[in-house]
Structure 1
Amino acid sequence: MAEAKVLHRGIRRLAGWAVWSFFSEIQVIGGDNVPEDGPLIVAATHHNMMLDPAVLSTQFPHRRILNYWTKASLFANKVAAWVLLSSGNIPVDRKSKDNQVLFRGTFEALSRGEAVALFPEGTSYTEPAIMQVKDGASWAGLEYTKWVVQNADMTKNKDLKIVPVGIVYTNKSKYRSRVLLEFGRPISMSDYSEQFLSTTAGEPRAAVKKLTARIESDLLRFTVNAPDWDTLFAARMARDLLWEKENSIPLEDFVVVSQTLVDLFATPDATPNIVHVRRRLLEYYSLLKTSKLTHATLTDLPLPRNLSPHITVPLPSRLRTLILLIRDTVAVLVRLPFFAFPLMVHFPAYIAAKWAERLVEDEEETMAQNKIVFGLVLLLVTYPMVFYFLWALFLYTRIGALVAAGTVWLFAVYHVKLIDDNYEHAKRLIAAWRVLVGVWIPKKWDISATALKQYTVPETPPDNPWIDRPRSRQSSSPHLSSSPSTSSPTPGTSSPDPASKPSSPSTPNKTQKKKRKPPTRRLIKHVLRARVEAARALASFIRALGSAPRDKRVLAAEHLATLYGGFAEAPPSLSPDPLGSTPQEPKRQGFRYAHEVIQFLQDHGANIARLQTTIADDYWAAALSSDGEYDSGSEADTSKSMSKDNEDLVWIAPLVQTH
């Protein structure tokens, strides 16, 4: 019965409903790379706690059941053992120093032709890049080849494959965000088993390291990796400015577009003004986060020019404009009756999810998990109550039970189908009035420029104490960092024991004191100003890249350099020694040509010409910046900057045509 995995199927179904209701889109790439049968080890990225196994199990190709590692001591009781085995867990004896004993449960599952899933990073974390890839998957796979040789008569399933999987979230803690799963080509153990089975000292471990390096290379290719947080945040802000709609980038392009922008802003000499550009993008990014707004929401706001208090217009005209805003408000409220009942039923779950998120506000990788768990618990209470209420109306008949169950199911589907459109309209409406209030309040109520500075630098998540940080990553400068492909940690720097628990950190992680965020209305004028200045800076950045010599190079991750560029010998500053002791041989540095990158971004939907509208037609922000009161460190006064904008924008249309 345990082999039937009865509980696993039930849990997977429940997880499928939770994942379906939380995410707006899930896309699988490379599903054909997964064998339909035979022994399989799945090595996946792990950046979102329980959501990773939930998404992986529910979306796994061919509906294959995945087995996950669990401490062997939990299987001591027969009832507990049945529950664990039936729910898709296999024992791992972490106390054993003999790998053949350590992985015995894994070998038995693989010998039956089953699939084992694990996360080689060892823990879930929030970092700008993959920080570590441990050797657990490699040890398990190669030790199985040894076990097969020793027990050839006990199994027919000998040809083990390892499939790397990248799980990427467009915003891993946000409700109704999107998920991409990319499955790599299966890795055969035959390429490494001969070296692993060698009796020469050091050869088995070398084979393990070689296999781990291959797995890490695939995981880096499937994910977005930045050398530091500032580079990642700047790239995100540039992406939002170039693709203004929240879901305008197709999921299959999300990683490659994001990594291209990361590489651009990781290039120290990309343009002469890159430091200024990064600062403007980071300021806008930070102010958006502080004010709980998004660039996409601001772009869609129905706030016409003559509503600005800085523009003198006749009162009737301004009144008509205000009526238009009220009309848009009513238009949003009109649809509320169609969504009111499902909203009321699910409202307790929304409140519980919001409260659960605040419990772990310093752990982004746990937020979505808490939201789903707390919301799901309430819905598991709410839906049966609705079912029994409807069933009672049908006098508890069998037909009544079927009708009640079907109604509850359709009600849940109805809620999910309506939530996206209503959710976006509600966000835009709330933001519109918040912006309106923020612009019209007296200037004396605005937050001062001195107090504003603390909100113009993005907050970074606290360090995860369970990560083995290579010294080269800790000491590298944000402006001198190499691309992720060369600065990633060396595989296998972890403990030799692939299933060991992480050691306790030498220094405890101190919780930073949270800054008290001001009301949004006091930040709105600064947000609108930062929006124009960020667009202006990004426009000048792209202009400089577009007018650069044809041989101008920018950094590129290894897989992107292979596809679109090439490799050159990296300077010593870009190829540090992981241990910080002896110099290494020069490393290859991936690059792409600047003109090709601009063409690539345009081909993938970057609306460069839209920057002209953001700068020239944003009358609100132009008016707010015109008196210079809200300028926080511009390199020239506003009038000169605005005239420079017009110069910067002349090139955009020809550039779009020539490329």
Structure 2
Amino acid sequence: MHYINSMPDDDPATTIYVIFVGINDLVGHVQPTDVLECISTQIDRLHQAVDAKQFLVFNMVPFDKSPRETGEQAMAQTWIEQFNEQLNTTITEKSAQHKDMQMVLIDTHTIISQVLNNPESYGITQGTTDYYARTHNPRQDANALDNGNVYFWFDKAHMTNVVHAQLSKSIVDQDPFPNIKLMSTGGSSTSYKVSPIYRLDEFPSRTTHASPPVGGVGLLLQLYSNLAMPFGLGHEFVILVSRSALWSFFVDIKLQDEHNIPSEGPMIVAATHHNMIVDPAVLSVTFPDHRRFHYWAKDSMFKHPLAKRFLENCGVVPVDRKTRNNAQLYAATYDVMRLGESVAVFPEGTSHTLPHLGTFKDGTSFAALEYAKVIEQDPHPNPDGSLPRKAVILPVGIVYPEKSKYRSVAIVKYGKPIHVDPYMDTYYQDPKKAAKQLTADLRSAIEGLTVNAPDWESRDAAEMARWLLFPGENGSMRDYISVTQSLIGAFADLSASDLDIALLEQSLRAYKMELEALALKDSHIAKYNERDITAASTTMELLRRTMASMIDLPLFLPGLVGHLPLYVAGYYAGKFEIYEEVRAQNKIFLGLLMVPFVYILAFIWGWYTLFGGTFFGFFAALATLGVFVWYHVVSIDERYENFKDLVGRWRLFDAVVLGRGMWRRKERILQLKQLRDSNLQGIRRMVKAYKGKNDHVHTVWLAIRSRVKQFGDPAKLHGRRKKLAKQFEWSFEE
């Protein structure tokens, strides 16, 4: 698909398409019929898409005689016989089906057998022992040993360049396409074009660059039936839908410490799991350089043919949970990691809403350690000639300050990769102990990327303290994780020895609970920092916000009316879900289901009402709808915040001016204002008193000072910047 989508300009009259099936992992993994079906599909696809006319098809080499098949020769020989016989039939049928194509079957089995039966004639003295087993000297290219080498086998399943050179020579001598000049290995020039090799299987989409494995023929295309499934259109569709959903649900997704991500090689990306299916969506959509992830799924999900095809097309790999053998459990995972690809996992298993990380399972560690063991014991090169590399574990923390809220923020923080080499000696002796050690280190790494508290009371107090110290920033602050975690640590360190701080922590929790009980936010009370909450001030604030909203309403009303069904559905989707970790998922799913109907109705209405249902009106209505949706999404944030503030102003007006609840709500709000003032002074005193004595408080102080430095000289500030700087005025004098 990648080759086809690249719109190649290769002349069909002089281009040869070579289909070559590698011998890696064939026996026990795929059936001959599966490989043949794949070959047939690719031939049809190439013929239809690029008018391919000339095909070289290689039958299977005698890998039953390879060192790898010692003791399994009979089974391997049966596989080869079945495959080669059926391949001959397939090529015959294809030739009859496409009269304009010329298909040549290369009898690779006979050519290689001749070398095996008479190795001395080709300068080979080591026909049964492989080069790697004898020398333990791996190379990046299995076919590039020094000239004059005497080995037939590079390793247990790959032949050396001596054998490939003979295969190349035999093909050239056969002269399969007289109108195209071919030159075997050793020629100084060629008359054919050598293109990057493209791996094709059921779902071709990825490319790899490597030297042609067959002498100097210069393969334009190469089929490896043993490779794990690359990502197909199903995966790209899921990514596209996920990106659209996340764009509309979150106001921002911040990436931090991307420099920790390895630039190449296989990875097991271990992430937190606090928000159901939103987590893999965030991880996959935002990962730098558009690298794709495979995800685990129970092998039972692959039983239905359609489900199997879709899951494989999306890059999902099966996990056999019934076996206790780790090599079998993660067999498909190892296949994709041999390709240098990455697998994303969630060590906590089940998604949850806790003030800290959940219990980590050892599956991630076993997968990484067992894979390292497999390639240490059997380091045969990958099908592209490169040597397999051990996978690193990349810790990732996904943090949601308000994970179920519409237009909230997500933060993705990448940790330093964990290499498995330090654990391997222990793993060979005691696998469970090594896995436990690695899991503990992984958990510790992810703890440093996330916000963790011993209980919700401690976390609520820290969140409220952060609100007071950094008003208005909430999850949008760049150092949300470090500041919040430092406040948790500061209260844990100081409350035991300082009674005032222990009381402050309790007061902060009480303030948060009272805000929730009155359905208010700290920003509503913060408006009255320098004045009392009176009937006059409350009325003026309400009128000011109402007038501003009325002026803005004509511009925003069409989008609001059009999207109102989505907002109502999202509200109730969250309201009736008791588990917070499921609410965002439900809102997004319901929105995705309703969006097509809402937008189709809006389009039809616009087409016939605004543009008279004409032909050109169709395109005008389509463009109008696109602008309508875009404008609404990019302008929703400020309007949504204004709306929430307006609701808060009405609640204050209702309590303070109208006196709902026999004026008891007014009294609670006035007491709440006093409690906020007391908490604000208390947290500021704590920061000033301990900024040089406690590391956690020092981190918070540095964050405060970073804001102060942004404003510069307070005397030179005006307008909104002066108002923002005033919030940190207490820290100007150190």
Fold shared, TM-score > 0.5 on shorter chain? yes
1:235 maps to 2:452: no
Q: Which residue of 2 aligns with 1:355?
A: 572
Residues 104-253 of structure 1: matches in 2 within 5 Å? Answer: 104-153=331-380, 155=382, 156-196=387-427, 198=428, 200=429, 202=430, 204-247=431-474, 250-251=477-478, 253=479
1:414-472: CA deviations, max 9, x gaps?
Answer: 1111111111111222211210120124486245xxxxxxxxxxxxxxxxxxxxxxxxx
Find the aligned partners of 1:61 and 1:547 in 2 and give their Cα distance: 42
Q: Secondary structure of 1:46's partner?
A: coil
Q: Secondary structure of 1:172's partner?
A: coil
Q: Which residue of 2 aligns with 1:368?
A: 584
Name the aligned partner's letter for residue 530 of structure 1.
L
Q: Secondary structure of 2:448's partner?
A: helix
CA contact (8 A) 1:301 1:431 kept: no
Find the aligned partners of 2:501 and 2:304 in 1 and give their Cα distance: 61
Find the aligned partners of 2:260 and 2:420 in 1 and give their Cα distance: 16
Distance 1:400 1:104, change over 3 A: farther
CA contact (8 A) 1:46 1:124 kept: yes
CA contact (8 A) 2:268 2:364 kept: yes
Q: Which residue of 1 aligns with 2:731?
A: 656
1:451-508: CA deviations, max 9, x gaps?
Answer: xxxxxxxxxxxxxxxxxxxxxxxxxxxxxxxxxxxxxxxxxxxxxxxxxxxxxxxxxx
Find the aligned partners of 2:691 and 2:643 in 1 and give their Cα distance: 47
Q: Secondary structure of 1:110's partner?
A: helix
Find the aligned partners of 1:346 and 1:302 in 2 and give their Cα distance: 36
Q: Which residue of 1 aligns with 2:481?
A: 255
Distance 1:79 1:549, change over 3 A: closer
Alignment partner of 1:430 out of 647, 652, 655:
647
Find the aligned partners of 1:138 and 1:526 in 2 and give their Cα distance: 53
Q: Which residue of 2 aligns with 1:44?
A: 271
Find the aligned partners of 1:41 and 1:400 in 2 and give their Cα distance: 51
Q: Which moved more, 1:432-441 or 1:55-64?
A: 432-441
Quote the offset at 1:185 in angstroms: 2.0
Q: Which residue of 2 aligns with 1:533?
A: 675
Find the aligned partners of 1:84 and 1:296 in 2 and give their Cα distance: 46
Q: Which residue of 1 aligns with 2:306?
A: 79
1:348-368: CA deviations, max 9, x gaps?
Answer: 0101111111221x3111111
Q: Which residue of 2 aligns with 1:266?
A: 492
Q: Which residue of 2 aligns with 1:67?
A: 294
Quote the offset at 1:113 in angstroms: 2.0
Alignment partner of 1:603 out of 705, 708, 723:
705
Name the aligned partner's letter for residue 224 of structure 1.
V
In structure 1, stretches of 5+ residues that fail to align are 310-317, 448-521, 554-564, 566-591, 608-651
Find the aligned partners of 1:41 and 1:540 in 2 and give their Cα distance: 45
Find the aligned partners of 2:333 and 2:362 in 1 and give their Cα distance: 15
Residues 180-579 of structure 1: matches in 2 within 5 Å? Answer: 180-196=411-427, 198=428, 200=429, 202=430, 204-247=431-474, 250-251=477-478, 253-267=479-493, 268-269=495-496, 271-300=498-527, 308-309=534-535, 322=539, 325-360=542-577, 362-390=578-606, 393=611, 397=615, 402-442=619-659, 445-447=662-664, 522=665, 524-543=666-685, 546-547=688-689, 552-553=693-694, 565=695
Find the aligned partners of 2:570 and 2:332 in 1 and give their Cα distance: 37
Distance 1:338 1:384, change over 3 A: same
Find the aligned partners of 1:269 and 1:541 in 2 and give their Cα distance: 16
1:231-257: CA deviations, max 9, x gaps?
Answer: 100111111111111448632x11011
Q: Secondary structure of 2:394's partner?
A: strand
Q: Which residue of 1 aligns with 2:319?
A: 92
1:583-611: CA deviations, max 9, x gaps?
Answer: xxxxxxxxx5x5x356335324499xxxx
1:41-74: CA deviations, max 9, x gaps?
Answer: 1000111111111111110111111111111011
Distance 1:549 1:431, change over 3 A: closer
Distance 1:328 1:301, change over 3 A: farther
1:283-339: CA deviations, max 9, x gaps?
Answer: 11012122222112332479975x825xxxxxxxx5x99567435412211111101
Find the aligned partners of 2:571 and 2:308 in 1 and give their Cα distance: 36
Quote the offset at 1:547 in angstroms: 4.3
Distance 1:295 1:377, change over 3 A: same
Distance 1:78 1:346, change over 3 A: same
CA contact (8 A) 1:109 1:115 kept: yes
TM-score (norm 1): 0.68
Distance 1:390 1:38, change over 3 A: farther
Q: Which moved more, 1:1-10 or 1:532-541?
A: 532-541
Q: Which moved more, 1:332-341 or 1:207-216?
A: 207-216
Q: Secondary structure of 1:540's partner?
A: helix
Distance 1:324 1:89, change over 3 A: closer
Distance 1:101 1:547, change over 3 A: closer
CA contact (8 A) 1:297 1:428 kept: yes
1:126-156: CA deviations, max 9, x gaps?
Answer: 1111132221111111111122234432633
CA contact (8 A) 1:243 1:606 kept: no
Distance 1:118 1:606, change over 3 A: farther
Q: Which has the higher contact order (CA 8 A, sep 6+)?
A: 1
CA contact (8 A) 2:381 2:388 kept: no
Find the aligned partners of 2:474 and 2:455 in 1 and give their Cα distance: 25
CA contact (8 A) 2:330 2:367 kept: yes
Name the aligned partner's letter for residue 258 of structure 1.
T
1:13 maps to 2:115: no
Name the aligned partner's letter for residue 180 of structure 1.
I
CA contact (8 A) 1:49 1:369 kept: yes
Find the aligned partners of 1:433 and 1:301 in 2 and give their Cα distance: 15
1:162-192: CA deviations, max 9, x gaps?
Answer: 1110101121111111111111122222332
Q: Highest Rg: 1 or 2? A: 2
Find the aligned partners of 2:445 and 2:690 in 1 and give their Cα distance: 33
Distance 1:379 1:528, change over 3 A: farther
Find the aligned partners of 1:94 and 1:110 in 2 and give their Cα distance: 19
In structure 2, stretches of 5+ residues that fail to align are 1-201, 204-229, 710-727
- Percent identity over the alignment is 34
Find the aligned partners of 1:296 and 1:31 in 2 and give their Cα distance: 33
CA contact (8 A) 1:96 1:102 kept: yes
Find the aligned partners of 2:667 and 2:538 in 1 and give their Cα distance: 20
RMSD in angstroms over aligned alpha carbons?
A: 2.9
Name the aligned partner's letter for residue 499 of structure 2.
P
TM-score (norm 2): 0.61
Name the aligned partner's letter for residue 283 of structure 1.
A
Find the aligned partners of 1:321 and 1:291 in 2 and give their Cα distance: 16
Name the aligned partner's letter for residue 112 of structure 1.
L
